[in-house]
């Protein structure tokens, strides 16, 4: 069945004022609209927004139908990053300190000495995602957080700033250049701690022990963040040698050599290589470079002959067929980092490797080779001779015919399973969860407890699911990928419906917590869904309209007529909205609406975003 | 239609795809064609379970099993200390020394040292070892075929594992035992493919996971059923609609019925179809589970607190306690206890986590004694790889061959199987890196073949269970790959309908 709408070539240009109607089944919809200039109908707009946002809102769908997809996309790409998660946490922290300091304290509370828990990150993240106008940026940043993975399942498990500052880097670079992103994460303490090159040391004899540079980051920056394990063609397929075997991009020697590059880095305020951080906020400053390890002299000032060794490994390093750093001293070590990142950045694998991952996150689990090739070509050159322009790449991904034309061929493996976390964001956006004060306070516990996903909480550097995951059964027989299925099992499946039960049936979508003991409860920060506008659609007579509405918002018209009828039948068995006397029964209306949306979100039609 | 009925009916459509409950097998048992494949139904003592504990991240297992000799002919500890420097346990007296460990070599290779001990934080493991209930595998790892030395390793004619130092690859290969492929199904899954028909309840998978989806338990026809560590009859399945809603019970049925109907539809999109199938299977399995869990007895064995491995193993004990209610004669469990990727803070990290492993394993063993099935449950640990013998100043990096544990009443314990390498990176011919990484002496195939034969796989079916095994071992009467398991009573002679697998 068709989702969204067929694109037919009717000409170019900006045709406005085409009448648009929503339909429960988009194959019945108007088919005269084009991505390049013509205006999409509601389902097509909703489908586009399901790829370009964390969850379409009705008003937004209207916007896209009025402006057209490309115009909306361009205005989004032009919006600056409007929200800093770190600053939001700092402001919460300041207000907590102010409140606590009203009672005289021996040592007054400050932003620096209040040790906040990691859930302040979740609160700030939710606030930003719900209130920022740069909706596309927030969607892309989530995708980046699942490629350039760091996670609170690590040394910084309780620290909101480590998560916030890193996520802000992803938001900042979502429409920037990949090379800058790579450099920013390399200099970020969150990455340095997560992949253990914080205080990494040149090969040396320290306290009589021979030690070697830590290889963790050197390996993962190549395997996961840039080039992958095998040489690729520009369309993402693996190159083969004469015997038909895949060609490894690097071996263990390349890793040991590259590991020498990422040596000599510590905290921004460290006194010496090997120093520890002082407080949570140290995670918000870029790393400081220590070419020389003089820790012995600083820590043991009484020694007449302290050990002075190289912090950074001087001299040449050969990896990926290139030698860098030859003849350089340890002091010139930061040039090694620049060179190494350039070598990685310019590897021909990066375009297809990163393009495939981004397409998988935003559009479909099994992009065609031609689709990857088109996007990788944009990565290699944005048209103005610039390599790595993520703005152009994102635009290329979302405007590509493979993303926009839904019905061509309609392959049996098209689309992707919606990530559990995205389903939650779909719900709160689609049902237009609104806070009267504009402030939300949401720890987002339930989505993680029940479905094991929440931003910056991957179990490992390999993300919640891996790009090449293939579930058993038909997809395996067809040799098709479905990464998100790796997170689907009997626990998370029942967990999903039980979480929906709490969010929808109990109308409790927000996990509120006090910031400090004795704080006045701020009900306005814990809003519920408001279904009153739909009450009159909940009766048997208008039920199809209710179904149409949420089918359009949540599933861009993708719910099949058969499932539509299963849901309708179930709801019709519930008490109607008018009682025997003909009086309107609010409770019945409310329950009918909640269960309708619950069942819609339980359909495979909704769950697979085609 | 009742949920269980529609599953039976729909199962035919799902045949050939992965199902928890093989329709082929259930049809077979109904018409008696496979009846002789059943284990004796009346014999409730016929039960065997395998528990695989993945220590994900790459445990530095050269600090799990440690040479203890301090002079004379056996200077193992000092060689270990000299090579591992700041990563080593600094004093041999701290080790939990084994009493006269017996060494069992493999394919002509043997351990470089005699005396050994467990990490200082693992006293329970040396107790179990000395009591003959625990064995160690020395320098075991992923291999396609035997590699004797560095020359073999460099020889392009020899087949080698893919991505030897990569977490994702090595974790995958420990679970598949097919290191030359990224497409293989799991070892536990293949055992289920062979033996699932032995279980009375076809709706519930033989393979139960405490770690969600995993490759170890994925077979051609069967995959894992995931449970959580706090599993009980009240938290399995879908929550009911609020009791405050009028006709709550009826509405809940109505809702569940609608879900059933929607996931029972035909989907041409394979992603939708896969989602629908998974939902149906989960519903079927939790229905069975819910009933059985009502019968879980209370245990006198206490499991350690604040120990997620112990929580998982305790859940396994509870599930095993209702094995008869679940109709399970064979079960495979999978647990993931991660946090071992210690590039940093290795010494303190191991001091914190290894005692958790030791205490959890001991409590689990005790619980199997309490259930009267200690000789029917075999538990083993695996990990991505061992780590570099040399230090990076704070920890160690990725390695290859390492050491693991096998525990249970049916294990010929008190022994070290394999060939613990000489602690030398310059002269040891199996070292392949200046950082100190060893070619495994024992293949995962050899360990798994022992477990498979014990579990009830016939020698003829080993080529399905372990496609590469022929490179290391071929069966003949009373000749086992390692001699690890007590095979009293002999091995199964019933061949199951699976062809040999080739990768």
Q: Write out the DSSP string of B292-322.
A: HHTTPPPPSS-PPSS-HHHHHHHHHHHHHHT
Please tell me whether residues A390 and A311 are part of one structural domain: no
Which chain B positions have a beta carbon within 8 Å of A212's beta carbon? Answer: 388, 390-393, 397, 435
What CATH number belongs to B3-241+262-471? 3.40.720
Could you tell me if A256 and A377 lie in one domain? no
Tell me which chain B residues have a C-beta less than 8 angstroms from the C-beta of A459.
Answer: 338
Hey, which residues does A210 pair with through a beta bridge? A205
**Separation CA A266–CA B243 (nearest Å):** 57
pLDDT more than 90, % of chain B: 72
Nearest Cα residue in chain A from B87: A209
Write the residue in A412, A460, A570 that is nearest to B258 by C-beta.
A570
In this structure, are A308 and A264 located in the same domain? yes
Instruction: Report yes or no: A602 at the B interface, CB cutoff 8 Å.
Output: yes
Among B74-83, B93-102, B156-165, the minimum mean pLDDT is found in: B156-165
Tell whether A60 and A29 lie within a shared domain.
Answer: yes
Q: How far apart are CA A82 and CA A80, in angstroms?
A: 6
Q: Please, what is the average pLDDT of chain A?
A: 91
Mean per-residue pLDDT, A411-419: 93
What does the block give as tokens for A46?
A: 């909703």
Handedness of CA A25, A31, A34, A38 (dihedral sign): negative
As a whole number, mean pLDDT of residues A395-406 equals 92
Does residue A114 or residue B34 have the better pLDDT?
Answer: A114
Q: How far apart are CA B161 and CA A539, in angstroms?
A: 63
The whole-angstrom separation of Cα B66 and Cα A608 is 51
* B396 contacts B83 by C-beta, under 8 angstroms: no
Cβ contact B286–A490 (<8 Å): yes
Q: Is residue A380 pLDDT above 60, yes or no?
A: yes
State whether A472 and B167 contact (CB < 8 Å). Answer: no
Concatenating the DSSP letter of every residue in A173-220 gives HTTSBHHHHHHHHHT-HHHHHHTT-TT---SEEETTEEE----HHHHH
Strand B402-407 with B134-141, pairing? antiparallel
Report the distance separating Cα A537 and Cα A593, nearest Å: 9
* pLDDT surpassing 90 at residue A17: no
pLDDT in tens, A184-204: 999 999 999 999 999 999 998
The three-state secondary structure class of A86 is helix
Domain membership of residue A426 (yes or no) is: no
The terminus-to-terminus CA distance of chain B in angstroms comes to 43
Residues A243, A209 share a domain: yes
| A478-517 residues touching B, CB cutoff 8 A | 478, 480, 482, 485-494, 497-498, 501, 505-506
Q: Are B472 and B441 in contact (CB under 8 A)?
A: no
Contact between A468 and A481 (Cβ < 8 Å): yes
**Percentage helix, strand, coil for chain B under 3-state DSSP, each rounded to 5:** 35, 15, 50
A199 to chain B, closest Cα gap in Å: 10
- Of B445, B483, B487, the C-alpha closest to B462 is B445
Instruction: State residue A600's pLDDT score.
Output: 98
Tell me: pLDDT of B182 over 60.
yes
Facing residue for B259 by CB, picked from A413, A560, A602:
A602
Indicate whether B109 pLDDT > 70. yes
- Contact by Cβ (8 Å): B440, B141: yes
Residues of A in contact with B234 (CB under 8 A): none
Task: Please give the Cα distance from A312 to A323 (Å, whole number).
Answer: 17
DSSP B34: T
Query: Is there a domain that residue A132 lies in?
Result: no
A168 occurs within a structural domain: no
- Verify that A298 and A371 share a domain, yes or no: no
The total number of structural domains in chain A stands at 4
Spatial separation of the C-alpha atoms in residues A491 and B226, rounded to whole Å? 6
- Lowest-confidence pick of A149-153, A556-560, B17-21, B135-139: B17-21
The distance in angstroms from the start CA to the end CA of chain A is 10
Residue B47 to chain A, least CA–CA distance (Å): 25
Interface predicted TM-score of the whole assembly (ipTM), two decimals = 0.91
**Rounded Cα distance, A100 and A518, in Å:** 10
Residue pointed to by tokens 């022990």: A209
Query: Looking at residue A346, what DSSP letter applies?
Result: T
pLDDT at A325 over 50: yes
Q: A272 at the B interface (CB within 8 A)?
A: no
Q: How many residues comprise chain B?
A: 503
pLDDT exceeds cutoff 70 at A506: yes
**Mean predicted confidence (pLDDT) in A408-434:** 91
Quick check: A214 and B343 CB within 8 A?
Answer: yes
Q: Does residue A31 have a pLDDT over 50?
A: no
Name the band, by pLDDT with cuts 50, 70 and 90, for residue B246.
Answer: confident
Instruction: Tell me which residue of B400, B420, B453 sits closest to B106, measured CA to CA.
Output: B420
Gap between the Cα atoms of B392 and A219, Å rounded: 15
Residue A407 — pLDDT band, cuts 50, 70, 90? low
How confident is the model over A144-149, as a mean pLDDT? 98
For residues B15 and A519, give the distance between their C-alpha atoms in angstroms, rounded to a whole number: 59
Closest CA relative to residue B25, chosen from B263, B192, B208:
B192
Taking CA–CA distances from B220, the nearest residue in chain A reads A472
Does A576 reside within a domain? yes
| CB distance A307 to A296 below 8 Å | yes
pLDDT band, residue B363 (cuts 50/70/90): very high
| Torsion angle, alpha carbons of A290, A294, A300, A304, to 10 | -160
Tell me whether residue B228 is exposed, middle or buried, using C-beta atoms within 10 angstroms of its C-beta: 0 to 12, 13 to 18, 19 or more. middle
Q: Would you state the pLDDT for residue A299?
A: 85
pLDDT for the residue B396? 94
- Mean pLDDT for A138-157 is 95
Measured between alpha carbons, how far is A42 from A434 in angstroms, rounded to an integer? 22
Same domain? A241 vs A371: no
- pLDDT tens digits for range A255-288: 999 999 999 999 999 999 999 999 999 999 999 9
- Is A472's CB within 8 Å of B212's CB? no
CA nearest A608: which of A323, A418, A388?
A: A418
Cβ pair A462:B391 closer than 8 A: no
- Compute the average pLDDT of residues B130-141: 98
CB contact under 8 A, B282 and A494: yes
User: What pLDDT is attached to residue B463?
Assistant: 96
Q: Which of A501, A575, A602 has the CB atom closest to B262's CB atom? A: A602
Decide if A324 is inside a domain: yes
pLDDT at B40 over 60: no
**pLDDT at position B15, please?**
26
At B346, give phi and psi (nearest 5°).
-70, -45
Q: Give just the sign of the alpha carbon dihedral A61, A63, A68, A70.
A: negative
Mean local confidence (pLDDT), B57-66? 97
State whether A395 and A336 are in the same domain. no
pLDDT band for position B213 (cuts 50, 70, 90): confident
Cβ <8 Å between A563 and B265:
yes
SS3 (DSSP) at B51: strand
**Domain spans of chain B, in order of start:** 3-241+262-471
Q: What is the pLDDT of residue B254?
A: 93
Distance, in angstroms, between B348 CA and closest chain A CA?
A: 13
For the residues B210-229, what does the mean pLDDT come to?
A: 89
Transcribe A552-602 into DSSP letters.
HHHHTT-S-HHHHHHHHHHHHTSPPSB-TTS-B-HHHHHHHHHHHHHHHTT
pLDDT of A36 above 90: no
Please give the residue that has the higher pLDDT: either B181 or A446: A446
pLDDT averaged over every residue in chain B: 89
Other CB atoms within 10 A of residue B268 CB: 9
d(CA B146, CA B150): 12
Give the pLDDT band (50/70/90) at residue A72: very high
Chain B residues 74-113 within an 8 A CB cutoff of chain A: 85-86
CA-to-CA dists, residue A597 to A593, A594, B266, angstroms: 6, 5, 22
- Average pLDDT of span A450-479: 92
Calculate the CA B127 to chain-centre distance.
22
Q: Residue A366 in 3-state DSSP? A: coil
- For the CA atoms of chain B, what is the radius of gyration? 23
DSSP for A284-330 reads GS--EE-SEE-HHHHH-TT-SS---EESS--S-EEETTEEE-TT--G
Mean pLDDT of the region B200-220: 89
Q: Are residues A267 and A399 in the same domain?
A: no
CA distance A321 to A446: 48
pLDDT over threshold 70, residue A183 = yes
Residues of B in contact with A491 (CB under 8 A): 212, 226-228
Beta bridge partners of A310: A292
For residues B28 and B312, the answer to whether their CB atoms sit within 8 Å is no
Full domain range(s) for residue A397? 363-404
**A340 and A370 in a common domain:** no
Per-residue pLDDT at B162: 87
Handedness of CA B228, B233, B238, B242 (dihedral sign): negative
Cα Rg of chain A, angstroms: 27
Q: Helix A119-131 vs helix A420-430: angle between axes, to the nearest 10 degrees?
A: 50
pLDDT tops 90 at residue A33: no
| Same domain? A336 vs A211 | yes
For residues B40-47, average pLDDT: 65
Tokens of A161: 């700033």
Examine the domain organization and report whether A377 and A275 are in the same domain. Answer: no
Residue B76 has pLDDT above 90, yes or no: yes
In a domain, A456, yes or no: no
Any idea which residue has 């395998």 for tokens?
A: B50
Long-range contacts of A536-541 (CB under 8 A, 24+ apart): A536/A577, A536/A589, A537/A593, A538/A577, A538/A588, A538/A589, A538/A590, A538/A592, A538/A593, A538/A596, A539/A576, A539/A577, A539/A578, A539/A589, A540/A572, A540/A576
């Amino acid at each position: 069945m068709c989702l969204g709408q067929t694109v037919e070539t009717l000409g170019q240009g900006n045709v406005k004022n085409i009448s648009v109607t929503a339909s429960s089944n988009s194959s019945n919809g108007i088919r005269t609209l084009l991505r390049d200039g013509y205006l999409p109908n509601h389902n097509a707009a909703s489908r586009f927004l399901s790829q370009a946002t964390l969850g379409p809102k009705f008003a937004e769908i209207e916007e896209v139908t009025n402006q057209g997809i490309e115009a909306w996309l361009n205005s989004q790409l032009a919006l600056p990053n409007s929200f800093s998660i770190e600053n939001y946490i700092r402001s919460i922290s300041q207000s907590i300190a102010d409140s606590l300091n009203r009672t005289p304290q021996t040592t007054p509370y400050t932003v620096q000495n209040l040790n906040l828990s990691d859930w302040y990150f979740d609160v700030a993240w939710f606030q930003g995602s719900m209130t920022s106008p740069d909706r596309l940026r927030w969607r892309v940043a989530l995708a980046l957080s699942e490629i350039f993975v760091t996670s609170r399942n690590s040394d910084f498990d309780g620290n909101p700033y480590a998560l916030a500052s890193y996520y802000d880097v992803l938001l900042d670079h979502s429409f920037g250049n990949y090379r800058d992103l790579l450099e920013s994460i390399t200099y970020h303490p969150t990455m340095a701690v997560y992949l253990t090159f914080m205080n990494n040391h040149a090969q040396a004899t320290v306290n009589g022990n021979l030690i070697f540079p830590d290889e963790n980051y050197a390996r993962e920056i190549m395997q996961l963040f840039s080039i992958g394990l095998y040489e690729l063609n520009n369309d993402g397929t693996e190159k083969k040698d004469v015997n038909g075997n895949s060609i490894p991009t690097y071996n263990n020697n390349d890793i040991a050599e590259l590991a020498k590059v990422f040596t000599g880095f510590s905290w921004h305020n460290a006194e010496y290589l090997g120093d520890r951080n002082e407080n949570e906020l140290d995670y918000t400053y870029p790393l400081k470079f220590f070419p020389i390890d003089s820790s012995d002299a600083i820590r043991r000032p009484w020694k007449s002959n302290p050990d002075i060794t190289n912090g950074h490994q001087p001299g040449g390093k050969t990896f990926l067929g290139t030698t860098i750093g030859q003849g350089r001293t340890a002091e010139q070590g930061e040039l090694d980092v620049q060179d190494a990142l350039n070598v990685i950045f310019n590897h021909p694998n990066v375009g297809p490797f990163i393009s495939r991952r981004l397409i998988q996150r935003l559009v479909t689990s099994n992009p065609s080779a031609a689709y990857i090739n088109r996007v990788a070509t944009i990565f290699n050159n944005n048209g103005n001779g610039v390599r790595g322009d993520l703005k152009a790449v994102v635009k290329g991904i979302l405007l590509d015919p493979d993303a926009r034309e839904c019905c061509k061929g309609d392959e049996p493996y098209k689309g992707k399973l919606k990530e559990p976390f995205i389903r939650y964001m779909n719900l709160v956006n689609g049902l237009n969860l609104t806070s009267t004060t504009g402030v939300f306070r949401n720890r987002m516990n339930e989505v993680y407890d029940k479905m094991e996903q929440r931003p910056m909480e991957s179990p490992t550097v390999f993300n919640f699911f891996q790009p090449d995951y293939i579930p058993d059964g038909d997809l395996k027989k067809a040799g098709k990928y479905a990464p998100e299925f790796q997170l689907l099992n009997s626990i998370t499946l029942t967990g999903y419906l039980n979480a929906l039960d709490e969010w929808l049936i109990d109308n409790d979508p927000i996990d509120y917590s006090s910031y400090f003991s004795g704080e006045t409860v701020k009900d306005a920060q814990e809003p519920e869904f408001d279904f009153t506008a739909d009450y009159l659609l909940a009766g048997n007579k208008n039920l199809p309209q209710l179904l149409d509405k949420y089918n359009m918002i949540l599933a861009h018209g993708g719910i099949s007529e058969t499932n539509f009828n299963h849901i309708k039948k179930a709801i019709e068995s519930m008490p109607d909205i008018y009682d025997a006397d003909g009086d309107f029964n609010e409770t019945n209306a409310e329950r009918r609406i909640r269960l309708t949306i619950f069942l819609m979100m339980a359909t495979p039609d909704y769950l697979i975003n085609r | 239609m009742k949920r269980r009925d529609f599953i039976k009916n729909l199962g035919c459509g799902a045949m050939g795809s992965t199902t928890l409950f093989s329709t082929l097998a259930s049809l077979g048992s109904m018409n008696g064609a496979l009846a002789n494949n059943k284990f004796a139904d009346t014999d409730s003592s016929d039960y065997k379970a395998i528990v695989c504990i993945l220590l994900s991240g790459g445990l530095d297992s050269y600090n799990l099993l440690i040479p203890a000799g301090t002079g004379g002919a056996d200077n193992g500890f000092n060689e270990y200390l000299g090579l591992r420097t700041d990563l080593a346990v600094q004093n041999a007296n701290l080790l939990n020394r084994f009493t006269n460990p017996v060494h069992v070599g493999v394919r002509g290779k043997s351990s470089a040292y005699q005396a050994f001990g467990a990490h200082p934080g693992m006293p329970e493991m040396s107790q179990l070892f000395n009591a003959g209930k625990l064995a160690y595998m020395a320098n075991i790892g992923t291999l396609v075929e035997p590699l004797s030395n560095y020359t073999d390793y460099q020889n392009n004619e020899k087949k080698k594992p893919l991505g030897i130092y990569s977490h994702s690859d090595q974790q995958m290969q420990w679970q598949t035992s097919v290191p030359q492929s990224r497409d293989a199904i799991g070892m536990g899954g293949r055992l289920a493919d062979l033996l699932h028909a032995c279980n009375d309840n076809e709706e519930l998978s033989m393979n139960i996971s405490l770690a969600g989806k995993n490759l170890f338990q994925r077979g051609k026809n069967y995959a894992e059923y995931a449970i959580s560590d706090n599993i009980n009859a009240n938290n399995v399945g879908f929550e009911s609609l609020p009791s405050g809603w009028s006709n709550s019970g009826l509405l809940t049925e109505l809702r569940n019925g609608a879900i059933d109907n929607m996931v029972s539809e035909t989907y041409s999109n394979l992603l939708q179809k896969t989602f629908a199938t998974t939902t149906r299977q989960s519903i079927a399995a939790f229905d069975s589970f819910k009933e059985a869990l009502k019968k879980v007895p209370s245990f006198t064995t206490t499991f350690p607190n604040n120990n997620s491995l112990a929580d998982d193993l305790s859940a396994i004990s509870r599930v095993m306690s209702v094995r008869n209610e679940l109709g399970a004669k064979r079960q495979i469990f999978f647990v993931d206890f991660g946090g071992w990727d210690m590039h940093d803070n290795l010494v303190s990290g191991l001091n914190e986590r290894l005692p958790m492993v030791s205490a959890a394993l001991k409590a689990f063993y005790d619980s199997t004694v309490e259930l009267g099935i200690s000789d029917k449950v075999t538990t083993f640990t695996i990990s991505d790889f061992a780590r570099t013998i040399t230090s990076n100043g704070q920890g160690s990096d990725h390695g290859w061959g390492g050491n693991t544990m096998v525990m249970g009443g049916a294990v010929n314990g008190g022994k070290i199987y394999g060939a613990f390498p000489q602690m030398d990176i310059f002269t040891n011919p199996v070292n392949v890196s200046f950082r100190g990484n060893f070619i495994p002496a024992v293949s995962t195939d050899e360990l798994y073949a022992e477990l498979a034969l014990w579990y009830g796989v016939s020698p003829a079916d080993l080529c399905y269970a372990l496609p590469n095994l022929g490179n290391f071992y071929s069966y003949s009467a009373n000749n086992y790959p390692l001699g690890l398991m007590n095979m009293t009573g002999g091995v199964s002679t019933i061949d199951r309908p699976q062809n040999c697998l080739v990768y």
